[in-house]
A and B are shown apart, each in its own frame.
Chain A
């Protein structure tokens, strides 16, 4: 088992590191460097979670680090708390600030968080400098005590370093484990494609807050340990520049791996020692390094080398049950009832009072000329847009205006016209994320099996371990369909699945759609390819200029005069006369 080897390696490294800290003679200078590196690295691991896994910019990690440090300093010296109680206090306060800051801005675009975090950083520095009664102002706080832990007198530097290293190893282990967990995969889905993550059932806002708050909390813990390590703190240690240093450490090492955070921190703590000959130009070189890393090593040092060593596949082996589909679909009954649905953008009526009924177990096609409102309708049905007016009922339940992840939980799955996959993940991971649908009642092993079965269903099991970005276009479409299927939707929305496919791929798609229908899955299909529409659909609805102009069986609809006119142009009045 791979995970067991990893845990063993981690344990061995932990024992060696703590043994070295406790037994080797370490001079005061090196001791300072090591304590700084190990406490910084904990904060940088927070950056791994928020920036690396979730793709949100936090430029206030030094502020959270400072909150932790001041909590320990004030808690132990002024309030008379025990060290670990003060450390806990710092972690909780940082966490709360993370939740409040994240909660107020993470619904907005990425640049808002960047600026709000900068603002927070600036305000905190002002407060620490000016609130002299509590923070002792620019003088800082000295004589911060170190804890006693049973027989270990941690006020000895070597023992305290061992404590820091222990905390670092635990944090790094957790952050590394997080990456392949359900939460971690959801974070990466949000980072890679937020819109698709929502439609795949992930509450993107919640995930972003969790990531940001976790990052803030790790910053607080790192800072608390830092205060104990140096026994003296002052506001200038937690300024904007230090946030940037923490950011650079994460980026340099490799922002989406725990080990990258440790490498980056160690390197940037040691770098000043090696770059001493640069003297005052040191920070300028630092800035230059950031630009160069972004240009030449966007994945950081660890990411750069990790590409050379491929990960061993970690997939469910052996037989797995064939994919079960369309479980909660009442065949023959209306599953989706849309009445009077409208979406207006300013004066444009993109969708205008559309009625639509989809019968369970059928393939229903939605066709119409370009700009007739088909994709807008799909966006309304999957929660990307909120309707201006009208009503959507799924299986008898009113789902009008629900957020994408709630609609996914209610049983709507979809694919996109311009494929939206989580491009840095493998096919298997993409589909696994699809299987996370809330309320599916599957445990972790069953979800993995289901993801594999969904990939197998679309014929992509052999490519399960490939990164989706490296797959050809047609295969990416299949993975996207498999991702939707893994959630076991009661209604599958397909937005132009045949677009960009060659003839063979189209024939395979027709076969796949028929198999899906054979399994009782209800499908709403947008498609321009009329051959394909005629071959697979039971019913067709036609939109033109946002209005439904026809509805019925393929033979009725395709001969309907309004439909012919919409596609071929109106017969001119005088020519007809």
Chain B
């Protein structure tokens, strides 16, 4: 029993990271109808920003976080201008391929500058964690779960109870109408990319002490976040979170009870299962085709 609880806790912790990346990816999809294949690289960049500021430059952890998030926000804006904006009137395919190109560019730029060796980032606190009998709640995992919860709540308040959040929702539902109502669509999309990059950055900062910081970090997280958003119901915000948690738990249990080398395969097995049995995901993608 204690083992299962321990695994569940670990799974939820890593799942929360997938959920954050999935969230950023769903927000961009809703705003632009584009699947951003570079979303995982946002997390990777967040991790590297932390390593550069706190380990290499020796800045305090909190300052490192602030600097990293500012850098990520800027990066999201640049990404929008360079990768999405020039192609905004094109169909789905060219934009998706452009984000794949961006993903290669980012990965290899980091690789060229920082080399292939993974680096480590210390945890957010020196405090080890809490023990409940045989179950040990690691501090970093607690931080991850708490931060994710707080972000989800904040985001809910932002989208439902602020004007700018409602404008962003309007843009994601109907760009033309939103623009006729005087909403700055380009600005809102810019904001969406910025926010998604920050979300990705947070995910990277949170996960860096658990996994190593390496150029492969982005792809590793992104693929599972993609799977999470399909499992949850494509384009659905609660779905992305539930899907992320589900994958985190599934792969932790799978690695323990079935096979360690195939740990990374469980997310995809789950994805295939969903595609075959319930392709619309847990919460259901709203698929509408109009003639």
Contact = CB atoms under 8 A, between A and B. Distances in A.
A122 B265 contact: yes
A421 to B, nearest CB: 14
Q: Which 10 A-B pairs have the closest CB atoms?
A: A290-B101, A287-B105, A287-B104, A283-B108, A119-B268, A284-B108, A280-B112, A291-B101, A130-B261, A294-B98
A293 B101 CA distance: 10
Interface SS majority for chain B: helix
26 contacts: A57-B93, A105-B275, A108-B275, A111-B234, A118-B223, A119-B227, A119-B272, A122-B223, A122-B265, A126-B262, A130-B261, A240-B219, A241-B104, A251-B97, A280-B111, A284-B111, A287-B103, A290-B98, A290-B100, A291-B105, A294-B94, A294-B95, A294-B98, A295-B87, A379-B291, A384-B291
B104 A244 contact: yes
A112 interface: yes
A126 B260 CA distance: 11
Interface in B217-273: 219, 223, 226-227, 230, 234, 261-262, 264-265, 267-269, 271-272
Residue in A51, A55, A290 with the greatest tally of chain B CB atoms within 10 Å: A290
A298 B86 CA distance: 12
Interface of B: 35, 37, 82-83, 86-87, 90, 92-98, 100-109, 111-112, 219, 223, 226-227, 230, 234, 261-262, 264-265, 267-269, 271-272, 275-276, 279, 287, 289, 291
A116 interface: yes
A291 B102 contact: yes
Contacts, number: 140
Nearest to B92: A110
A123 interface: yes
A384 B112 CA distance: 51
A262 interface: no
Nearest to B35: A111
Contacts of A51: 93
A378 B268 CA distance: 40
B42 to A, nearest CB: 15
Nearest to B220: A122
A274 interface: no
Contact of A114 (B82, B96, B276): B96
Given A119-B227, A294-B101, A114 B35 contact: yes
A118 B100 contact: no
B289 A384 contact: yes
Interface residues of A, number: 56
A248 B97 CA distance: 9
A289 interface: yes
B105 A284 contact: yes
B34 to A, nearest CB: 9
Residue in A105, A283, A289 with the greatest tally of chain B CB atoms within 10 Å: A283
Contacts of A126: 261-262, 264-265
A290 B223 contact: no
Nearest to A404: B291
